[in-house]
Amino acid sequence: MEKKINLSINEGTAFFAHEASINFGPTQVIMDFRCITPRVDPRSNEAPTLNMAHNVIMVEPYHAKRLFELLGTTIEKYEKEFGKIEKSKAMKSAEKKRKEMKKDPQVSPSYFG
């Protein structure tokens, strides 16, 4: 006798992450992906606002290791098809500016340009 199963799929929302952090406890690995977006309203005299959204994914250590292996395999395939992944000129420039900011405590990073 066959049993029928109804399946409902929640597609979720696409999410671009600018930053990520990974931590762990004895039974889980926690990945926190963040997207920081400046909000500036030119009609307002108020200070600009940073909007931070984040999605947290928690997996058990075994699945984190499998994810690590899958990501490595995927990157290898990507580089075979499209070439080696390297830092862009913009990323290199941002890193240089960040190093300069560390030398001068009066300068702080800005998401507003």
What token pair was written down for 87? 């830092």
Residue 37's pLDDT is 87
Lowest mean pLDDT of 27-36, 47-56, 57-66, name the range: 47-56
pLDDT above 60 for 112 = no
Could you tell me the residue ranges of all domains in the chain?
A: 14-59, 62-107
pLDDT per residue over 14-49, tens digit each?
Answer: 889 989 999 999 999 999 999 988 887 778 777 778
Residue pointed to by tokens 């250590």? 61
- Report how far residue 79's alpha carbon sits from residue 85's, in angstroms, rounded to the nearest whole number: 7
* Distance separating alpha carbons of residues 100 and 96, to the nearest angstrom: 6
